[in-house]
Each structure stands twice: as C-alpha cells, then as structure tokens.
Amino acid sequence: MSKLLIEGGHPLCGVLKIQGAKNSILPIMAATLVAQGECVIENCPDISDTHTALEILKTLGAQVKMFGDKVWVDCTNVIDYEIPDALMRKMRSSIIFLGAVLTRRKKALLSFPGGCELGPRPIDLHLAALEKLGVHISEEHGYLRCEAARLKGAEIHLSFPSVGATENIMLASVQAEGRTVIENAAREPEIEDLQNFLNAMGADIRGAGSSTIVIRGVESLHSVQHRVIPDRIVTATYICAVAATRGNALLKNVEPKHLSSVLSVLREAGCEIQEFDDMISVACDRLQAVRLVRTMPYPGFPTDAQAPFMSLMCVASGSTVFVETMFENRFKHIAELQRMGAKITTEGRVAVVEGVRRLSGASVDATDLRGGGALLIAALAAEGETQIGRIEHIDRGYAAPEQVLGELGAKIVRIE
Ligand code: UD1
C-alpha cells in the first residue's frame, strides 16, 4: 500500500498549473455514449476516477485511449448495457452513466453505487426523474433493471438540487421525444460544462447554470472535441495548502469566477488573493479564523472544500464554526486532524475549530477524497514528519500531488 511522506513547515512558493475538473470529466465521458462517433476530450485529469470511467466505457464496448491530458473515445460499437458491480462500487459517480446508457440502448442494468463514505447517498431523485421520462425500473438482487420502450420529455421538479440527478436527467432526455424541463436544477459549473459538451454534439439544451434547464430532444448527435473546465476544488485545496504554509504562489489554468464563495472566505481569513482571467495569486503571512462556514449547493461554499478549508482554520488564530449541510457523514477527517494536534469539537453536523500555533506530524489515514486533501494541507503546515496512508482516496481526485506540491518546494515523497 502506498503512502505519502511529508516533512512539514516549508512555505510553498512558485507557479502551478491546475488540472481539469473531475466532476466535469466523469459526466462528459458518460455523455460520449450518446454520440455515434469519436470524441476527443482535452484537459483530462490523470486520476483514478478518470481511469474507472474509461473502464466503464470499455466494458460497454467503446474504444478508448488516453494520451497526455487527452482522452479519445469511439462509441460507434457500444452494444452492452450492463455496468459490472465492481466498477459501480469503485466510484459512486458511476451512477451518472445510467442516463447515457438509457439514451443509447433504451435499457440498463447496474447495481446500486456502493459504500457509505459520506453517509447515505440515495439515488431516489435520479430514479423518480427517470420514471417520469418513461423508464420502467425494477430492483432485483441489488441490481437495478431499467427499460424504456421510448424516452419521453417531462416536467421534473427536483426537491433538492442534486448534481448527479440533474446530469442524469440531461443525459436521459437529450434524445427523448419533446421537451424536458428541470426545475430546481443544480447550478454547478460542471453542469454548464456538460451542457456545452452536449450542445457541441448537436443537442438543444438551455439554462444550465440557472435553476431551470430546458432540453429539447434531438434526433442524432455527432462527434465533438471539447476542453474540460478547470477543477475548482483542486484549486481551493492548493490555495489552502499555500496559505497554511504561509507561502505565495500563482495558480494557472483556473476559472476564478467558479470560486467566488471560497475566495471571499479565504480573504476573510487574511489571505491576499488576486484574480486574473485564468489565474489566481495567493500570498499569506497571517491567518485568522472566519466566523462561520456553511456548506451549500453552488454558488454557496462547496461541501468538497469543507475539509481542506478546515485544515487551514486549524492553524489560524481564533475559532471557526463549520456547518455541513450537504452530507451526513463528512467529518471523518477530524479524527485524523486531531492526531496531528488540531483542536476540534463536533456535535452532529457542526464542528468548532480552535486554531493552534502549530500542528505536529503524525501517522494518519485518508478517510475519503477531500478528507485526504485536508490531510495534505495539515501535513505541509505541521512541524515534523507526517505519513498519510490510504492514499488511494487522494489518487481518485488529485493528479500526482507529490509532483505538483514538490514543484512548489514541499518535501513530499510517495513510498510504495
Ligand atoms: C456531486 C459531486 C460531489 C459533491 C456533490 C455536492 C460529482 C461526480 N460529484 O455528487 O463531489 O460533493 O455533488 O456538491 O459531481 N441526494 C438524495 N437523493 C438523490 C440524490 C442526492 O437525497 O437521489 C442527496 C445526497 O444524499 C446529498 C445531497 O442530495 O445529501 C447532494 O447530493 P448530489 O448533489 O446528488 O451529489 P452527487 O451528485 O452525488
């Protein structure tokens, strides 16, 4: 089992290039299934979730290749409609393939996405919406059998703006008969990226980025080349890492407007942030607590940035209150941060962080992807050496963190 070994206390300084967005590449790779030809996707992050998505496409009969940061997918010969349980369990977001497989094959067979990393993550909204589009769904032996003689447009009101459900509806309705309207749709930038990808293929989708998305079904979709947007959560993580080590850096290939809520909280914490067209600079020498961080659907403070920002507040002066409204069990990283000397108390979905002068290196385990990002930040800021285990969680979403951070002056190695 690999680990990351980090000697903390070295300010991170320099220039880094941010990878493409994990939460864009996954639905976009699913969307390649609805086109009859070849697609080229640029700015793909080399992370294990990308490889899992490529495996799913291959299992379904697609030809795929990854070279550098480009992925080439040819879905001409997609014949299968079953996603094996092992792949469904590897990555919860494999559920996003459901809508695309239905458009392509009018049927799909897959198991419930497994695990409970962040507490229960039901898919009831996905399934209820698909039923409205004419899909018949039955459950047998842990598998979902979905069939639709024909997909028909519908008016769908989501009781919560679920990212995955919004994407599944878009993918299932892109060639459905007539018009589909999604009310209370999720507004995340990755949804707009999916809309842009599908429209470039010939789809007719409007409104992504707002709460109402209108999809008019089209007859056929064609090959396309597309560049994925930058990863706003990786950007937030590395800004926190620079700030926690009192460093200064320029982050390139970013989209500052996708980070408004995070940047305003970072400024409140004392970071000097400058925004350019596709770059952000960060410098920090004094960190102070912020009043309250409450996670919310976009454009609110992202739940995915909660753990990384919590590590930063562990070394700020004063106390910060975190309220996690999105997921039930998203505080697992706290026990690991406490091993490093963090002062944090929790009560249900509320955590109070009392900043300390210094964290101290320890042996810790990544508990989930963003919890792993939080441990990287804590380790870089801590006195002494930290060993992070279970880094397969980190590798799901951060491409070669030892290389990226090493180039900024971090003392970090991967040991096998
Ligand atoms: C996506 C992101 C993930 C991010 C999350 C919230 C991807 C690949 N993943 O996950 O990084 O943390 O958005 O911003 O894009 N819910 C239901 N029923 C459903 C669907 C969701 O109750 O059918 C609940 C979930 O349990 C959760 C909340 O809605 O409490 C938000 O989930 P959702 O927006 O669907 O997140 P994901 O699409 O899974």
Which pLDDT tens digit goes with each residue over 322-341? 999 999 889 999 999 999 99
* Helices marked H in 317-364: 333-339
Three-state secondary structure call for residue 62 = coil
Average pLDDT of 345-361?
Answer: 97
**One domain, residues 15 and 26:** no
Domain finish residue from 227, 252, 277: 227
Q: Which atom of ligand 1 is nearest to the CA of 123?
A: 23
Q: Which atom of ligand 1 is nearest to the CA of 92?
A: 39
Mean pLDDT of the region 129-142: 94
User: Does an H or E element contain 38, and which?
Assistant: strand 38-42
Q: Are 382 and 5 in contact (CB under 8 A)?
A: no
Token code pair at residue 89 = 């369990």
Comparing C-alpha atoms, which of 192, 216, 220, 191 is closest to residue 204? 216
Atom 1 of ligand 1, residue of closest alpha carbon: 163
- Alpha-carbon separation of residue 311 from 244, 296, 333, 337, 348 (angstroms): 8, 19, 9, 8, 19
Cβ count within 10 A of residue 15: 12
Q: 164 C-alpha to center of ligand 1: Å?
A: 6
| Ligand 1 nearest atom to the CA of residue 233, by list position | 11
CA-nearest residue for atom 34, ligand 1, is 162
Residue nearest to atom 33 of ligand 1 (CA): 162
Instruction: Give nearest CA residue, ligand 1 atom 32.
Output: 162
pLDDT mean over 42-69: 96
What is the Å distance from ligand 1's center to 378 Cα?
26
Residues 127 and 156 sit within 8 Å (Cβ to Cβ): no
pLDDT at 172 over 90: yes
User: Atom 12 (ligand 1): residue with closest C-alpha?
Assistant: 304
Q: Are residues 206 and 324 in the same domain?
A: no
Q: How confident is the model at residue 120 (pLDDT cuts 50, 70, 90)?
A: low
- Note the pLDDT of residue 262: 98
Q: Is residue 91 scored above 90 in pLDDT?
A: no
The percent of residues above 70 in pLDDT, for the chain, comes to: 98
How does residue 79 score in pLDDT terms, banded at 50, 70 and 90? confident
CA distances from 404 to 221, 233, 267, 346, 399 (A): 38, 15, 24, 32, 8
**Distance between Cα 93 and ligand 1 center (Å):** 9
User: Do residues 315 and 358 share a domain?
Assistant: yes
Q: Which atom of ligand 1 is nearest to the CA of 121?
A: 26
Q: Which atom of ligand 1 is nearest to the CA of 119?
A: 26
- Closest-CA residue, ligand 1 atom 26, reads 121
What CA dihedral angle connects 80, 55, 371 and 18, to 10 degrees? -120
Rounded CA separation 114/89 (Å): 5
At 117, the pLDDT band (50, 70, 90 cuts) reads low
Pocket test for ligand 1, best of 49, 127, 326 (most atoms within 8 A of CB): 326
Decide: 281 and 241 in contact? Cβ < 8 Å.
no
Residues 41 and 7 in one domain: no
pLDDT of residue 122: 86
Kindly give the number of the ligand 1 atom that is closest to the alpha carbon of 164. Answer: 38
Are 366 and 287 contained in the same domain?
yes
Q: How many A from CA of 107 to the centre of ligand 1?
A: 24
How much is the pLDDT for 19? Answer: 98
Task: Tell how far the Cα of 186 is from the centroid of ligand 1, in angstroms.
Answer: 10
What pLDDT does residue 277 have? Answer: 95
Boundary (domain end) residue, out of 184, 205, 227 = 227
301 plus 237 within the same structural domain: yes
> What's residue 78's pLDDT?
83
* Number of structural domains found in the chain: 2
**Domain of residue 297, CATH code:** 3.65.10.10
pTM beyond 0.95 = yes
pLDDT at 164: 96
Mutate to test the pocket of ligand 1, among 90, 93, 121 (most ligand atoms within 8 A of CB): 121
The answer to whether residues 33 and 151 belong to one domain is yes
- What pLDDT score was predicted for residue 342? 98
- Using the mean position of ligand 1's atoms as its centre, give its distance from the Cα of residue 384 in Å: 37
Lining residues, ligand 1, CB within 6 Å: 23, 26, 93, 121-126, 160, 162-165, 186, 190, 303-304, 326-327
pLDDT of residue 116 exceeding 70: no
Which two three-digit tokens encode residue 150? 């024909």
Give the pLDDT score at 119: 64
Give the Å distances, CA to CA, from 25 to 124, 326, 375, 397: 23, 22, 25, 11
> Which residues are tagged catalytic?
116
Does one domain contain both 30 and 71?
yes
**196 Cα to the center of ligand 1, angstroms:** 21
Identify which of 26, 156, 160, 193 to mutate to test ligand 1's pocket (most ligand atoms within 8 A of the CB).
Answer: 160
Same domain, yes or no, for 282 and 410?
yes
Claim to verify: residue 11 and residue 61 sit in the same structural domain: no
CA 365 to chain centre: 20
Q: Averaged over 61-87, what is the pLDDT? A: 94
Q: Are residues 178 and 318 in the same domain?
A: no
Give me the mean pLDDT over the 237-255 stretch.
98
- Of 172, 195, 227, the one marking the end of a domain is 227
**Domain check: are 313 and 385 in the same one?**
yes
C-beta pairs of 297-302 under 8 Å, 24+ apart in sequence: 297/161, 297/186, 297/187, 297/188, 297/326, 298/186, 298/187, 298/188, 298/189, 299/187, 299/260, 299/261, 300/261, 301/261, 301/262, 301/265, 302/232, 302/233, 302/236, 302/261, 302/262
Ligand 1 atom 4 nearest Cα: 304
Structural domain range at position 273: 3-19+230-415
**What's the pLDDT tens digit per position in 257-302?**
999 999 999 999 999 999 999 999 999 999 999 999 999 999 999 9
Mean pLDDT of 149-162: 97
**Mean pLDDT of all residues in the chain?**
96
Amino acid at 135: V
- How remote is the CA of residue 83 from the centroid of ligand 1, in Å? 20
Q: Do 266 and 313 meet the contact criterion of CB atoms below 8 Å apart?
A: no
